Amino acid sequence: MSDEVIVKDSNGTKLSDGDSVTLIKDLKVKGTSETLKRGTMIKNIHLNGNAGEVEANTKQVRGLVLKTEFVKKA
């Protein structure tokens, strides 16, 4: 039995550490005045053990946690 969590994007494609993803919706970032626009490429994501979330950094925001329903593998 495997304890590995399988993380999938909005299209059902499996995501891995270090993958690049693209946003499929404009997202307002809580705690800041930033809005990440649809189509923004986010490189080098990290899996955090939760099937519905990935961690990432952008130029504007560090330590971002994104729900996988709003990203697709690039």
**How does pLDDT run across 9-32, given as a tens digit for each residue?**
999 999 999 999 999 999 999 999
* pLDDT for the residue 13: 97
Q: Does domain 7-73 have CATH number 3.40.50.1110?
A: no
* pLDDT for the residue 57: 94
Amino acid at 9: D
pLDDT at 1 over 80: no
* pLDDT for the residue 2: 58
Are 44 and 70 spatial neighbours (Cβ–Cβ below 8 Å)? no
Residue-range domain boundaries for the chain: 7-73
**How does pLDDT run across 41-71, given as a tens digit for each residue?**
999 999 999 999 999 999 889 999 999 999 9
Measured between alpha carbons, how far is 39 from 23 in angstroms, rounded to an integer? Answer: 5
